[in-house]
């Protein structure tokens, strides 16, 4: 066989690698009311989400502020790993402390401490009060922002014990939410320590009991769900491993975070991490049926493995496919992995990751098998994302960079997300640029939510499960042009 004939045959028989712009969902019969549309989804039959949307584990997208807000609004923010374990521990602590019926990791201060120390602790931890304990760790007071003296000089010289609220209204362990609310209301206080035999066992705050965010993603103890990106490498020193185990106590979901997970070294590393840590794991990214089949049938993962993440090279700031010639666009990857999950283990969840440009791309991902979608592009310009708002030519913007960009890979923490080895750091697989500032993430999520809901209504699907059964089709190039605004005198 001639070499040219071989290439023609190989290309002829390869599958069509479709992207979001190549596909449309066909309209279906809608026999339900608009209010009946249910967009709740789950991962591993264990984690429920009222908003099937995640913000990416990127250092210009998700740190604690974004993670907290995403969880409060019903989704999940996955904290990035381009930082030390110490920094990650700080972030996960803040997420778990943000909205909790009972705070276990209570901030305390000694009664002989200076007011200046208390002020610094409150500011650095982002809290409004501290429980005061004596030298035997027995509760003796509460010190809040209301207890600061008016005299400026006393902020530096005064002692906490002289200004704290000494009458401590408390509750015993095991009290119900209603009992806690009643005691807070009766005493017109905002913080309620849980005390047993004089020792502090926890803290309840009024803000955590208010039904301000009824759709919030919470664990069984009422705390916000917390996701964290993780290297597939086990820490090579005891100090780092100790911190990682401490992180494990706060995290619900670890996301193995590499560009392409279908590698023996990453698979073996993930298995070892599961043997060390107790939280659940989501593995990724992968892009083919074969990769999913291998992970589902040939690797003996523990029950901690609950979901896969699909997509490679589709993000707006990702250049892996251009730099290496290898990739799996998110729509194609999602459909491939969904087929393997259906064939081998339907209990495994599926996250469609990257490449989303419009709200209409989300229902497309769900229609081919995704349980949830993950995006960085939609959220990088939000006020909750890391970084500051800049102004360029009169327009407000924020920095957005790929984790494979040379700017992100200056740090040593993210190098194993891509191919490691001599010289590999010099080949960037992402770019850094600006995106428009879009304001609060709540507004972005509302738009994406409506894109999903309206897509489901037009398709005739009242829930996520039904949405995976709708009919889809490939669009011609002429069809892609026609489905967008066209033949107008304006900017289109």
- Catalytic positions are 318, 417
Structure token digits, residue 211:
């039904």
Q: How far apart are CA 207 and CA 211, in angstroms?
A: 9
Would you state the torsion angle of the CA atoms of residues 366, 372, 377, 383, taken in this order, to the nearest 10 degrees?
A: 130
Per-residue DSSP letters for 403-439? Answer: TTSTTGGGSGGGGGGS--STTGGGS--B-EEEEE--B
Adjacent-strand bridge partners of 382? 439
Give the CA diameter of the chain: 92
Q: Helix, strand, coil % (nearest 5) of the chain?
A: 35, 20, 40
Phi-psi region of 460 (alpha: psi -120 to 50; beta: other; left: phi over 0): left
CA 174, 146, 208, 52 torsion: positive or negative?
A: negative
Phi first, then psi, for residue 261 (nearest 5°) are -85, -15
**Among candidates 38, 80, 36, 34, which has minimal Cα distance to 55?**
80
Per-residue DSSP letters for 319-359? Answer: -HHHHHS--B-HHHHHHHHHHHHHHH-TTSEEEEES---ST
The CA-CA-CA angle for residues 408, 411, 413, to 5°, reads 105
Structure token digits, residue 251:
């995290």
Residue 99: HSE in the Cβ half-sphere, 13 Å Cα cutoff = 27
């Amino acid at each position: 066989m001639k070499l040219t004939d071989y290439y023609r045959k190989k290309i002829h028989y390869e599958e069509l690698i479709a992207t979001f712009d190549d596909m449309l969902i066909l309209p279906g019969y809608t026999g339900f009311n608009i209010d009946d549309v249910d967009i709740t989804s789950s991962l591993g039959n264990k984690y429920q989400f009222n908003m099937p949307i995640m913000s990416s584990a990127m250092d210009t997208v998700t740190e604690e502020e974004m993670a907290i807000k995403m969880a409060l609004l019903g989704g999940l923010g996955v904290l990035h790993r381009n930082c030390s374990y110490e920094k990650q521990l700080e972030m996960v602590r803040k997420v778990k402390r943000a909205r909790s019926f009972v705070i276990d990791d209570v901030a305390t201060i000694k009664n002989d401490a200076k007011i200046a120390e208390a002020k610094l602790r409150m500011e650095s931890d982002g809290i409004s009060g501290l429980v005061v304990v004596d030298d035997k760790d027995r509760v003796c007071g509460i010190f809040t922002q209301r207890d600061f003296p008016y005299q400026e000089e006393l902020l530096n010289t005064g002692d906490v014990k002289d200004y704290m609220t000494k009458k401590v209204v408390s509750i015993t362990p095991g009290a119900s939410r209603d009992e806690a609310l009643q005691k807070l209301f009766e005493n017109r206080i905002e913080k309620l320590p849980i005390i047993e035999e004089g020792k502090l066992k926890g803290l309840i705050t009024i803000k955590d009991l208010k039904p301000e965010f009824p759709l919030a993603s919470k664990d069984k103890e009422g705390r916000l769900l917390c996701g964290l990106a993780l290297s597939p490498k086990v820490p090579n020193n005891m100090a780092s491993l100790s911190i990682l185990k401490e992180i494990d106590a706060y995290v619900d979901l670890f996301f193995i975070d590499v560009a392409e997970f279908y590698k023996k070294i990453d698979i073996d590393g993930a298995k070892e991490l599961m043997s060390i840590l107790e939280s659940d794991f989501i593995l990724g990214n992968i892009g083919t049926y074969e990769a999913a089949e291998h992970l589902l049938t040939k690797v003996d993962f523990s029950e901690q493995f609950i979901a896969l993440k699909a997509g490679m090279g589709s993000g707006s700031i990702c250049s892996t496919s251009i730099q290496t010639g290898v990739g799996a666009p998110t729509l194609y990857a999602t459909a491939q992995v969904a087929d393997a999950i259906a064939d081998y283990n339907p209990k495994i969840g599926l996250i469609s990751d990257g490449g989303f440009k419009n709200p209409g791309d989300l229902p497309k991902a769900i229609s081919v098998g995704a349980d949830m979608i993950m995006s960085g592009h939609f959220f990088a310009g939000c006020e909750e994302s890391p970084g500051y708002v800049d102004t360029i030519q009169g327009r407000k913007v924020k920095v957005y960079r790929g984790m494979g960009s040379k700017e992100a890979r200056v740090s040593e923490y993210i190098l194993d997300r891509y191919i490691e080895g001599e010289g590999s750091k010099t080949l960037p697989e992402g770019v850094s640029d600006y995106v428009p500032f879009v304001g609060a993430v709540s507004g972005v999520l509302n738009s994406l939510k409506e894109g999903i809901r309206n897509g489901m209504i037009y398709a005739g699907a009242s829930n996520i499960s039904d949405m995976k059964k709708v009919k889809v089709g490939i669009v011609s190039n002429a069809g892609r042009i026609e489905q967008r605004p066209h033949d107008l005198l304006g900017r289109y």
